[in-house]
Chain A
Amino acid sequence: MYLPDGYTTLEKLREAGEYAEYDLFFGPNHPGMHGNFGYVLTMVGTEIVKVRPNAGMLHRGFEKAMENKPWAANLSLIPRVCVPDPDPNEVAYCQAVEKLLGCEVPMRARFLRSITLELSRLGSLYMGMGGLAGALGHYSTMYLMMIERDLILDRFEALTGARVYHIYNIPGGVRNDAPEGWLESVSRLLDHIEAQMPEYDRLLYENHVVWKRLEGLAPISAQEAMESGITGPALRACGVKADIRVDAPYAAYDQVQVDIPTSGGGDALARAVQVRLDFAESVRILRRLIAAIPEGPVHADLGNLAKLRVPAGDAYSKVESSKGEFGYYVVSDGGEKPYRVSVRGPSLPAGLYLCHKHLPGMKIDDVAAWMMSFAICPPDIDR
């Protein structure tokens, strides 16, 4: 390869016809890709010109499968829609069914739902921080975050019997009460997390390499975010105080105080800092929930759940997951199986639409960091 007199910019080379465009497959088989998803990037040098998303490798036909199973049996399928953060899906589906049934969920069940939601959020934010570190090449932090997430999975195993997919929420409440000493073990876990948070800050957020890589990457304004369907931490990072736990409270979030910290800025660094702010807020909310949880029954009496019949109608229920808005639109015709269940995942607007606006002009090194900053998690794109 020869170099012309002096170094010349990519544009001049392109104008002179020195560089040809080529196609690069970023993913699905790629360690920087978060999951089984691909972008086919048309590139010039190391700069992206055009992007074509290659989705569908995680497509399982959930919406069709859910029409063939009874209402309560769908709960075995539903946590699998989002792999790192399965509980918001269960809660959204159960809430939509409860809205159609018109049944009241007992208060203790609502608190237990919120506690498991917050624990799941912590686990998913650990993966978010770890994934961001991994995308920037910072593998020690990634491994540390995975280990810390395991402590949360231990608590889930004591409560529900399973580490990752809990199937804990049922229409009308939760499956079983917390065992003896479980709430104390969660409090001990929170003590451990709070003691470790300065370590996470030192590793990830006081690291000037992370700042240099993420500052100014893919900025987005608040108006553009709201009009592009962006929700969750990416929206709060633009300064918008929007959180479904406050805007449309569900479970026990109207019983405890929920603040909405926002990092302004709108670029990838602000989104990374937002993850950290959400993390700290989640720990605080968990402490308040554990302090305020009442006694009582843990599920409403709906008879034999295997033969549940839901009155005709439709309802939409949404929850705030660690990545954004998870919504379930449930249509019933009065039978034993749903007529239609339509799932809204938070990653599709960023993964399939914003990629066309942000990726052209970006260097290939930043694509993994861009994906992690928007928390694009492919299972809920493909469902």
Chain B
Amino acid sequence: MTPERFSRMLTEFFGDAAVFADKGGAQWEVHAPRDRCLPLLSFCRDHSFVHLAFISAVDWIAENQIELVYHLWSYEHRVHLLVKTRLEREKPWMFTAHRIWGHAQPYEQEIHEMMGVFFIGNPDLSPLFLHNWKDKPPLRKDFDSRAYSLKAYTLEGLGLVPPADKEDANVPS
């Protein structure tokens, strides 16, 4: 399977919606809008790209978009394919790929928690890693991790005072 042949197959099935690029080093990428993304993933899965490595989300704050990247690998042709799609940043949502690959469900759950992207049809979008989290999704670019840590985990940040009996030198202040 050469890049040209795959590109021709994509044009045949998806027309102008799928934009193909060969990045070199056996890495290809395809850009697609959101509504053609799931049929494109199905198409790739049926044409030898059976392995979904993981799903990444990138916050392009300057362009006001969040990009989802699906990493696929073909055991047969030994090529890595990145399927990319862009979502609007205020209300990012996408259909779940859980019906195509079952293990997309925990990856989408993580992206929901870390970036705030909503996946329609995902059976479980409850918090996975964070405990009692009330702030912004932490992987967004406008979330300041250092400020959060200094405010949340030091006494000054918590607004607390040392204990009353100061003669006990062992208790930290």
- Select B101's contact among A229, A240, A247, A354, beta carbons within 8 Å: A229
Within the assembled complex, what's the spacing in Å between the Cα atoms of A262 and B114? 38
Residue of A56, A61, A229 with most partner-chain B CB within 10 A: A229
Closest to A102 in B: B24
B53 engages A327 (CB within 8 Å): yes
Interface string of A240-271 (1 = CB under 8 A from B): 10100001100000000000000000000000
A382 engages B129 (CB within 8 Å): yes
A318 engages B106 (CB within 8 Å): no
Residues of A within 8 A of B (CB-CB), count: 36
Q: Does B95 contact A (CB under 8 A)?
A: no
Q: Does B64 contact A (CB under 8 A)?
A: no
How close is B130's CB to chain A, nearest CB, in angstroms?
6
B56 engages A342 (CB within 8 Å): yes
**Segment at the interface with A among B3-11, B33-41, B74-82, B160-168:** B74-82
Q: Does A226 contact B (CB under 8 A)?
A: yes
Known: A64-B145, A68-B145, A315-B27. A353 touches B103 (CB 8 A): yes
Q: Does A200 contact B (CB under 8 A)?
A: no
B129 engages A227 (CB within 8 Å): no
Within the assembled complex, what's the spacing in Å between the Cα atoms of A344 and B102? 17
Q: Does B92 contact A (CB under 8 A)?
A: no
Which residues of B have CB within 8 Å of A340?
Answer: 56, 58-59
Residue of B56, B107, B127, B146 with most partner-chain A CB within 10 A: B56
Q: Does B117 contact A (CB under 8 A)?
A: no
Within the assembled complex, what's the spacing in Å between the Cα atoms of A59 and B106? 15
Within the assembled complex, what's the spacing in Å between the Cα atoms of A331 and B141? 14
Within the assembled complex, what's the spacing in Å between the Cα atoms of A183 and B101? 45
A248 engages B26 (CB within 8 Å): yes
Q: Does B52 contact A (CB under 8 A)?
A: yes
Within the assembled complex, what's the spacing in Å between the Cα atoms of A340 and B71? 15
A-B pairs under 8 A by CB, number: 88
Q: Does A362 contact B (CB under 8 A)?
A: no
Q: Does B125 contact A (CB under 8 A)?
A: no
Within the assembled complex, what's the spacing in Å between the Cα atoms of A99 and B80? 14
How close is B28's CB to chain A, nearest CB, in angstroms?
11
How close is A322's CB to chain B, nearest CB, in angstroms?
18
- Select B54's contact among A56, A59, A228, A327, beta carbons within 8 Å: A327
Closest to A340 in B: B58
Q: Does A211 contact B (CB under 8 A)?
A: no
Q: Does A277 contact B (CB under 8 A)?
A: no
Residues of B within 8 A of A (CB-CB), count: 36
A325 engages B53 (CB within 8 Å): yes
Within the assembled complex, what's the spacing in Å between the Cα atoms of A344 and B151? 30
Known: A65-B145, A248-B26, A348-B103. A226 touches B50 (CB 8 A): yes
How close is B46's CB to chain A, nearest CB, in angstroms?
12
Which residues of A have CB within 8 Å of B50?
Answer: 226-227
Which residues of B have CB within 8 Å of A240?
Answer: 75
Within the assembled complex, what's the spacing in Å between the Cα atoms of A59 and B139? 13
Q: Does A300 contact B (CB under 8 A)?
A: no
Closest to A60 in B: B129
Q: Does A205 contact B (CB under 8 A)?
A: no
B71 engages A242 (CB within 8 Å): no
B58 engages A353 (CB within 8 Å): no
Q: Does B152 contact A (CB under 8 A)?
A: no
Which residues of A have CB within 8 Å of B159?
Answer: none
Q: Does B25 contact A (CB under 8 A)?
A: yes
Known: A56-B128, A56-B130, A68-B146. A228 touches B102 (CB 8 A): yes
- Select B53's contact among A59, A318, A352, beta carbons within 8 Å: A318
Known: A61-B145, A229-B51, A325-B53. A99 touches B25 (CB 8 A): yes
Which residues of A have CB within 8 Å of B129?
Answer: 55-56, 59, 382
Within the assembled complex, what's the spacing in Å between the Cα atoms of A34 and B116? 30
A353 engages B25 (CB within 8 Å): no
Known: A247-B78, A344-B54. A349 touches B131 (CB 8 A): no
How close is A49's CB to chain B, nearest CB, in angstroms?
17
Q: Does A63 contact B (CB under 8 A)?
A: yes
B75 engages A229 (CB within 8 Å): no
B-facing residues in A14-69 (Cβ within 8 Å): 55-56, 59, 61, 63-65, 68
Q: Which residues of B contact A (CB under 8 A)?
A: 23, 25-27, 50-54, 56-59, 69, 71, 75, 78, 80, 82, 101-103, 105-107, 114, 127-131, 138-139, 143, 145-146
Known: A68-B146, A226-B51, A344-B54. 10 other contacts (CB 8 A): A68-B145, A227-B51, A227-B102, A229-B51, A229-B52, A316-B71, A316-B82, A329-B69, A340-B56, A340-B58
